[in-house]
Chain A
Amino acid sequence: MRHYVLRRVIATAPVVLIVALFVFSLLYLAPGDPAAIIAGDQATAADLERIRHTLGFDRPFLVRFGDWLWQIAQGDFGTSIFTNMPVMKMIGQRVEPTLSLMAITMIIAVAVAVPTGVVAAVNANSVLDRAIMTCGVLGFSIPIFVVGYLLAYLFALRLNWLPVQGYTPLSEGVGPWLANLLLPSLALGSANIALIARTTRSAMLEVLNQDYIRTARAKGIGQMRILFLHALKNAAIPILTVVGISVALLIGGAVVTETVFAIPGIGRLTVDAVLRRDYPVIQAVVFLFSVVYVLVNLTIDLLYTLVDPRVRY
């Protein structure tokens, strides 16, 4: 067991390295001359030269990549072209809202999607199942910002149940914090709910047809116990996998959700940076989020062994 964990953790290092190389190469892969784009139309030759130097275009690719790796290993992501602040500091100030948003979203998504998927599987091919699955395609099709505006219009503007926009730090109380995050989380989670419910349904369908479920029924075990203890546990691996994958949706969606609901998080920082063409910030955000994504999926890989003792690599 400990061996397996260690092997998996070590195997993640090259993936992170490739991610780093790729994120770094984006500067070279983008069509056109990025330095000129970042400098803007009014830039002088000196401005352009300074940006070229900041981006490292005046040095060979590998030397520059090595330097960058060494810097980020020490937690230094350079300074913002726009504010001249260390990028790491700018991101640090914005972490709380984004982490809160993503955590609440994931909790809501799993809490809604898994039971829904189970209900759909138990009533497979019934009207209820069809309705749930159609809602699934809808949830996956309606873009986050559309869901966001819809929810905000209904529950905040019309019904006045929840705040329209903004963010309240956790330090000012769990109630206001949660009230501000509820609508954004539902909007952000809509696609995840659809995806996880769909996977839960198909995983449960497969498990429910197996002999040991029939045995459990024959022994007179209650339906709830069979579904949530016996069946769900064995359907857990595909569900966990899709939860891991859906974190990518969550990260991309956070950028949009924070814009719609005016949440001062990393997503909002990203959008501001895009508009100012503040590439060091973008580069850091893309790299850090990608590493988070890789680490989440590593954790999920490790969870497999807890859920299913048969998993041994």
Chain B
Amino acid sequence: MTALRHPAIAIGGGLVLGMVAIALLAPWLGTIDPTQIAPAARTRAPSAEHWFGTDMLGRDLYSRVLYGTRVSLVVGFTVALLTSAIGTAIGLTSGALPRLDDIIMRVMDGIMSVPPILLAIALMTLTRGSIGNVIIAITFAEAPRMSRIVRGVVLVLREQSYVDAAITAGSPTPVILWRHVLPNALAPIIVQASYVSASAMIVEAILSFLGAGTPTSTPSWGNIMAEGRSLWQVKPFIVFFPAVFLSLAVFAVNLLGDGLRDALDPRVAKKA
């Protein structure tokens, strides 16, 4: 029912489900091995045999783009999950312990002053390029914002009479946080998590595009675009297809986030 009243959720959610299906079913969607090189068939334009054409090593771009969906979705989903968990833990701690609040929030302000892409780039300079490290680097950049949002919710809820009642009744702080505060913080966390996963997909693609992300042995949209970069003026299709998929995936998740925001809590729109 909710989906019907919020077309953004239906369209965004539908597109996301479609992407998940592509990622899961990639081996059965008429793809061949995305890493198989064929020097004789380099940079072929899209055709019946190679729907999206081939890259400079003759690898089938349709297969590479479809398999690339996996990287983006895994990064988007994992970063959203990790960011939510870490941000919530920090936000709850900060909101519940006024004595620590000042220090924690100053540190978060410091981290948030570093533009996220630069922060991820700096971390990637110091580690080996791997999907795991990409996820860690992006989570690092995204978690402070999440913790601020959760802390904001805790500060509002702390003034509510039912929380006062729970305190008076002698409930220990962790129980109050778990039973009374967290359920109310869930809506803004979910909404923020969807934006985080959209931005994580963009940052992963950017890192890979710059050569500091997913290792080139794994096909990801950013990697494919990086490989097509030097040829884009003559063979624009190499960059085109991963670009369309990336944009569509990010658009879908952002749309879903907007829909969830309106559906779950109209007030969140203003606070965020």
Contacts and interface: CB of A to CB of B under 8 A. Distances in A.
Q: Do chains A and B interact in one complex?
A: yes
A251 B126 contact: no
Contacts of A23: 114, 122
Contact of A149 (B116, B236, B254, B258): B236
Contact of B117 (A157, A252, A260, A273): A252
B121 interface: yes
B121 A31 contact: no
Interface of B: 106-107, 109-111, 113-119, 121-128, 133, 136, 140, 198, 202, 205-206, 209-212, 225, 229, 232-233, 236, 239-240, 243, 246-247, 250-251, 254-255, 258, 269-270
Given A26-B126, A27-B126, A32-B127, 12 more contacts: A14-B106, A15-B109, A22-B111, A31-B136, A32-B128, A137-B251, A142-B247, A143-B250, A164-B233, A251-B115, A274-B211, A275-B211
A138 interface: yes
B123 A26 contact: yes
26 contacts: A15-B110, A19-B110, A27-B126, A29-B123, A30-B126, A30-B127, A32-B128, A37-B125, A137-B255, A141-B250, A143-B202, A143-B206, A149-B232, A149-B239, A202-B270, A255-B117, A256-B206, A274-B212, A275-B210, A285-B118, A289-B114, A289-B118, A290-B113, A290-B115, A293-B113, A294-B113
A259 B121 contact: no
Given A145-B225, A282-B125, A137 B254 contact: yes
A46 interface: no
Given A142-B250, A143-B202, A259-B209, A18 B107 contact: yes
Contact of B121 (A249, A282, A290): A282
B113 A15 contact: yes
Contacts of B118: 251-252, 255, 270, 285-286, 289-290
Contacts, number: 151
Contact of A146 (B122, B123, B246): B246
A293 B232 CA distance: 33
Contact of B125 (A29, A153, A251, A279): A279
Interface of A: 14-15, 18-19, 21-23, 26-27, 29-32, 34, 37-38, 137-138, 140-146, 149-150, 153, 157, 164, 202, 248-249, 251-253, 255-256, 259-260, 270-271, 273-275, 277-279, 282-283, 285-286, 289-290, 293-294
A290 B117 CA distance: 11
Contacts of B251: 137-138, 141-142
Given A141-B251, A149-B243, A256 B114 contact: no
A22 B127 contact: no
Nearest to B258: A137
Contacts of A279: 125-126
Nearest to A238: B270
B137 to A, nearest CB: 9
Q: Report the 5 A-B pairs with minimum CB-CB distance, sorted nearest first.
A: A252-B117, A18-B110, A30-B126, A141-B251, A34-B126
Contacts of B126: 26-27, 30, 32, 34, 37-38, 279
B144 to A, nearest CB: 10
Contacts of A274: 121, 124-125, 210-212
Contacts of A19: 110, 113-114
Contacts of B258: 137
A164 B232 CA distance: 11
B33 to A, nearest CB: 27
Contact of B122 (A153, A271, A283): A283
B247 A146 contact: yes
Given A22-B110, A32-B127, A137-B254, A248 B247 contact: no
B113 A256 contact: no
B148 to A, nearest CB: 13
Q: Which of A30, A144, A249, A282 has the most chain B CB atoms inside 10 A of its CB?
A: A30
A289 B115 contact: yes
Contact of B107 (A22, A164, A260, A283): A22
A248 B116 contact: yes
Contacts of A259: 209-210, 229
A140 B127 CA distance: 29
B250 to A, nearest CB: 4
Contacts of B254: 137, 140-141
Contacts of B110: 15, 18-19, 21-22
B127 A293 contact: no
Contacts of A14: 106
Contact of B109 (A18, A138, A249, A270): A18
Contact of B127 (A15, A31, A253): A31
